[in-house]
């Protein structure tokens, strides 16, 4: 498993670092952007607890292949994050497909690794926490599966989303050894730069017991409203 992890991590890192060198290749495209959001919304959870997040990305693509790096502040528990990714996608008529590999790195704090001996979060490096992502779509509807391949055994995340004009509706489901949760996002893109998102955890087995009613109170179960603004660089 360690040799596989090192091979995958090396492939992701090497592909990402090659972005600048490959820019002159015919039919290749290099893009970058910076953005700010009112909080770091991750798969239905407010990781920033209301703290604004600043993000940026650099991406290389050619003939369906793509690789790049994405980074963000705003995660109050794990600190600054950057993600390395490599993938391939395309379309056949109304059908679309995409496969990718992501490595999540937290250089300024603890990351989201399972520790069998303690309940504390562990530091993460390239290859320590990785997801394989498979997406298939037809027209405006897409089904995406995130399967963890390193760092969070037995965790997966699945989304079903549909885009109609400027609106996107997404239903996401977390699944793990013990914790499960489902969330609903409704997003509106005012233009290419500005978007608004409403998000709510609609079901979860992770929560606290209300002392008065005895009912389960879902963690982060309030409706969250997030404003995001992104700006392409170099256009």
CATH number, domain at 169?
2.40.160.40
Residue corresponding to tokens 């059908």: 95
- Name the residue range of residue 32's domain: 2-232
How many structural domains does the chain have? 1
Residues 177-209 as b or e (16 or more Cβ within 10 Å = b): eeeebbbbbebebeeeeebebebbbeebebbee
Unique residue bearing structure tokens 């079901």: 203
Top pLDDT among 140 and 211 is at: 140
| Summary mean pLDDT of the chain | 84
* Cα distance between residue 117 and residue 72, in whole Å: 29
Pick the more confident residue, 33 or 122. Answer: 33
104-162 per-position pLDDT tens digit: 998 876 555 554 444 455 567 777 889 999 999 999 999 999 999 988 778 999 999 99
**For residue range 59-91, what is the model confidence (pLDDT) as tens digits?**
999 999 999 999 999 888 888 899 999 999 999
């Amino acid at each position: 498993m360690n040799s596989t992890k090192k091979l995958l991590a090396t492939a992701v890192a090497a592909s990402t670092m090659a972005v600048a060198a490959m820019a002159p290749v015919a039919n290749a495209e290099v893009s970058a952007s910076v953005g700010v959001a009112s909080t770091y919304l991750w798969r239905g959870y407010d990781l920033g607890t209301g703290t604004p997040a600043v993000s940026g990305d650099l991406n290389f693509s050619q003939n369906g292949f793509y690789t790049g790096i994405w980074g963000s502040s705003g995660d109050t528990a794990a600190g600054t994050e950057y993600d390395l990714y490599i993938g391939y996608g395309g379309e056949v008529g109304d059908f679309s497909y995409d496969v990718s590999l992501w490595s999540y790195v937290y250089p300024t704090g603890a990351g989201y690794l399972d520790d069998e001996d303690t309940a504390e979060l562990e530091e993460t490096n390239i290859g320590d926490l990785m997801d394989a992502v498979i997406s298939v779509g037809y027209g405006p509807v897409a089904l995406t599966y995130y399967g963890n391949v390193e760092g969070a055994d037995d965790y997966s995340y699945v989304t079903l989303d549909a885009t109609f004009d400027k609106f996107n509706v997404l239903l996401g489901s977390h699944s793990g050894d013990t914790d499960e949760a489902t969330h609903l996002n409704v997003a509106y893109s005012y233009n290419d730069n500005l978007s608004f998102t409403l998000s709510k955890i609609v079901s979860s087995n992770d929560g606290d017991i209300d002392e008065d009613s005895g009912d389960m109170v879902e963690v982060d179960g309030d409706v969250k409203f997030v404003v995001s603004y992104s700006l392409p660089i170099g256009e």
